[in-house]
A and B are shown apart, each in its own frame.
Chain A
Amino acid sequence: MNKVIIPALLGLLVIGGTGLVFGDDDEDERRGWWGSARQDVSPVDQALYREECGSCHFAYQPGLLPQDSWRRLMAGLEDHFGENAELDSEARGEISRYLEENAADRSSMWRSSGFASHSGSLRISDSPYFRRQHHEIPARWVENNPKIGSFAYCDTCHTTAERGNYDEDAVRIPGVGRWDD
Chain B
Amino acid sequence: MPMRMLLAIGVGLAVSAAQGGSPQQIQSAYIAQGASDFSSERGAKLWLREGVEGRNCATCHGGNPSEPGQHARTRKLIDPMALSASTGRFANLAKVEKWFKRNCKWTWGRECSAQEKSDLLEYLYRL
- Counting contact residues on chain A (CB < 8 A from B), the size range is 10 to 19
Task: Assess whether B105 is in contact with A78, with CB atoms less than 8 Å apart.
Answer: yes
A84 pairs with B106, CB closer than 8 A: yes
Q: Which residues of A contact B101 (CB under 8 A)?
A: 84, 86
Among residues 58 to 87 in chain A, which have CB atoms less than 8 Å away from a CB atom of chain B? 78, 82-87
Query: Could you say which residues of chain B place their CB within 8 Å of the CB of A56?
Result: 71, 74, 76
How many B residues face the partner with a CB closer than 8 A? 12
By a CB distance below 8 angstroms, the chain B residues around A82 are 73
* B127 proximal to A (CB < 8 A): no
Does any Cβ of A come within 8 Å of B45's Cβ? no
- Give chain A interface residues in 83-131, CB to chain B under 8 Å: 83-88
Contact A83 B106 (CB under 8 A): yes
Q: Does chain B have a CB within 8 A of A149? A: yes
A178 at the interface (CB under 8 A from B): no
Among candidates A57, A84, A87, residue contacting B74 with C-beta atoms closer than 8 Å: A57
A86 to chain B, nearest CB (A): 6
- CA A87 – CA B102 in complex, angstroms? 9
- CB <8 Å contact, A149 and B75: yes
With beta carbons under 8 angstroms apart, the residue of B71, B75, B76, B103 that contacts A84 is B103
A85 to chain B, nearest CB (A): 6
B7 to chain A, nearest CB (A): 26
A83 touches B76 (CB 8 A): no
The complex places the Cα of A47 from the Cα of B72 at a distance, in Å, of: 27
- Give the nearest-CB partner of B103 in chain A: A84
Residues of A within 8 A of B106 (CB): 83-84
CB distance from A47 to the nearest CB of B (A): 15
- Scan B27-58; emit 1 where CB is below 8 A from any A CB, else 0: 00000000000000000000000000000000
| Measured CA separation A160–B35 after assembly (Å) | 48
Alpha-carbon gap, A78 to B101, bound state (A): 10
The distance from the CB of B81 to the nearest CB of chain A, in whole angstroms, is 15
Question: Can you list 25 pairs linking A and B with CB atoms under 8 Å apart?
Answer: A56-B71, A56-B74, A56-B76, A57-B74, A57-B76, A78-B105, A82-B73, A83-B73, A83-B102, A83-B106, A84-B101, A84-B102, A84-B103, A84-B105, A84-B106, A85-B102, A86-B98, A86-B101, A86-B102, A86-B105, A87-B98, A88-B94, A88-B98, A149-B75, A152-B74
Additional 8 contacts, C-beta under 8 A, given A82-B73, A88-B94: A56-B76, A83-B106, A84-B102, A84-B103, A84-B106, A85-B102, A149-B75, A152-B74
CB-based closest 9 A-B pairs? A84-B106, A84-B102, A84-B105, A86-B102, A86-B101, A57-B74, A83-B106, A85-B102, A82-B73
